[in-house]
Amino acid sequence: MAAVNVNDNVRYEPDENPPRLVAIGSGIQAAILILAPVVLTVVIVSRIAGQSEGFMAWAVFAAMLISGSTTVLQAVRVGRFGSGHVLMMGTSGAFIAVCVAALKLAGPATMASLIVISSLFQFLLASRLSWLRRIFTPIVTGTVIMLIAATVMPIIFDSLNDVPEGSSQAAAPVTALITLVIVAAMVVRAPPAWRLWSPIIAIAAGCIVSIPYGIYDFQQVLDAPWIGVPFDGWPGFDVTPGVEFWALLPAFVVVTLVGAIETIGDGVAIQRVSRRNPRATDFRVVQGALNADGVGNLLSGILGTVPNTTYSSSISLAEVTGVAARRVGVIIGATFVILAFFPKVAALLIAIPAPVAAAYITVLVILLFVQGMRIVIQDGMDHRKAVVVGLSFWIGAGFQSGWIFPDLLGEGFLGVLLSNGMTAGAIVAIIVMVFIELTRPRRRRLQVALEGDALPKIEQFLLAFASRRGWDDASTERLTSAGEETLAILLQESEGDAEESARQLTINARIEGVAAELEFITTLEGENVEDHLAHLNELPPAPDEREVSFRLLWHYASSVRHQKYHGLDIIAVDVEGSR
């Protein structure tokens, strides 16, 4: 295992307090950077679905208010809500297609009810994250993200030609092309610091070009009040859901879970870039990020706007500025909350011509598709995963395009449910993953008390496991030794805990290829085992007694992964074997 690399780029860690001017400057800069995507996503959804100006103004206000509030919650971390890191929150592009469908088929009140109900599943995922990690794998996540992009793109393309009647035929293509070229060129070639500003620069350029064509609505900006709240646009709730509600609910639940999985990725990545000395991922931080994201979705439903999610630009901003202090997250959120009460600011963005907004969001959706591809590829590819990805994507694309049994499905529940390619593809991916999980080699399980006297039972369990697989003596010894040292580490980490005697240890053993995968499941209060292993190279060659078990485990195991959740720890130890 390689030596620990110190990240010298980090100027201020989450627990540190930068000077006030540094914090304010960094916070306002970040708020300006994400203001456009937060507002434009809502505007695109409202325009495509043909909603009123009143609803659009309210939805933009609510989105800014919720994005700011949940960004603060992410930073300060209240109980199990919030990550304790600078994770910026904003409206989610993944919800464009399903929100447009809900608004067109049933109206804003039904969309609000769908968002409220689906947000509850995000809290469920956060509380059961350790249980669902085998189903919502990177393969499923990446495939559904690609399907979201494929589902949204036709909707975005339609809005490229959305200009006022009587406008020049060149207005839409010229403004869209200028915006697209600038944002793409800056993403590809601009230095990292300038790349963060690419949305604002490209949108500003597109708006300037649109002025001679007369498609930028200055009057809308002039008519907007400086201060106010557009209460008249709140849609309320639909408490008598019809067939559209039940047909669209699975789609909203799937998108919510996919958005949650994106948040998991951001929660992992922000920990990596926020510390000078890298630490193993703490999934309690991830669960806090998921809970805060769930609060944002719940509030989005209550207030009737597009749901939100964490923005991956949080990671880029922390890497470029080196400022990861929580205080900055509070300032970002407070800036958004304050700006929400200034309709003139929102009107500047709402007036952006549709071709300009669509061209910018096209780049975001393309990057979303590539992100899904990257997740799939990084997880590795074998024949099983290839079936999951290929089957799910193309069946989803077939339903989205109306190529698969359109006459048979009709316009009822199944027709509405499967007409969304993301929903159809996600259902296929989850079914295939459940089948793969159920047909994998059966796990052997042992439950014992977490105490030193459990060692003979663990050794007997592992010896029997190796014997069934016909392992040779050397492999069997590595397996039992790895189990012994993991138990020693667990006991060491729980020293001084008054509840130690009441703790239970569950061991799951299963063959994965040529290796045995052992899972030690318990509750710990100590540090992450991976952090101990990562720092062994920095310690003297003659370690103290507490380090012996870590060095021995490192020697016997081919890999060790320690995932810490609220109320649960899972240490996965892989041991290579041979017959």
Pairwise CA distance, residues 453 & 483, whole Å: 14
Nearest to 312, CA basis, from 94, 548, 573: 94
pLDDT given for residue 341 in this prediction: 92
Burial of 469 by CB count in 10 Å (0-12 exposed, 13-18 middle, 19+ buried)? middle
Domains and CATH numbers, the chain: 20-134+164-228+244-361 (no CATH), 444-576 (3.30.565.10)
Beta bridge partners of 576: 515
Q: Please give the backbone phi and psi of residue 236, each rounded to the nearest 5 degrees, phi first.
A: 75, -160
Residue 496 has a pLDDT of 57
d(CA 269, CA 465): 37
Token pair for residue 305?
A: 């706007």
Find all residues with CB under 8 Å of 201, minimum gap 6, and list them: 182, 183, 186
Beta bridge partners of 510: 517
Q: Which residues of 108-144 are buried (b: 16+ CB within 10 A; e: fewer)?
A: bbbbbbbbbbbbebbbebbbebbeeeeebbbbbbbbb
The candidate with the shortest Cα–Cα distance to 249, out of 380, 101, 378, is 101
Helices (H) and strands (E) in the chain, counts: 24, 7
**pLDDT in 10s for each residue of the chain, 579 residues:** 444 455 566 778 888 888 888 888 888 877 877 787 888 889 888 888 888 888 888 999 999 999 999 999 999 988 889 888 888 898 887 788 788 888 988 889 999 999 999 999 888 888 777 666 667 677 777 787 777 777 777 777 877 777 777 778 888 888 888 888 888 888 788 776 676 677 778 888 888 888 888 887 777 777 778 888 887 878 887 777 778 888 888 888 878 877 787 787 778 778 877 887 766 667 788 888 989 999 999 999 999 999 988 887 777 677 767 777 888 889 999 999 998 998 888 888 777 787 887 887 787 777 767 767 877 787 677 788 888 888 888 888 887 777 777 766 655 556 656 666 777 787 888 888 888 878 877 888 888 888 888 899 999 999 999 998 889 889 999 999 998 988 888 887 776 555 544 678 888 898 877 888 888 888 765 555 555 445 444 444 545 555 677 778 878 888 888 777 777 778 888 888 877
Tell me the C-alpha distance between 410 and 416, whole Å: 8
d(CA 109, CA 259): 22
pLDDT at 4: 47
Task: Give 55: exposed, middle or buried? Use CB within 10 Å, 0-12, 13-18, 19+.
Answer: buried
What pLDDT score was predicted for residue 555? 80
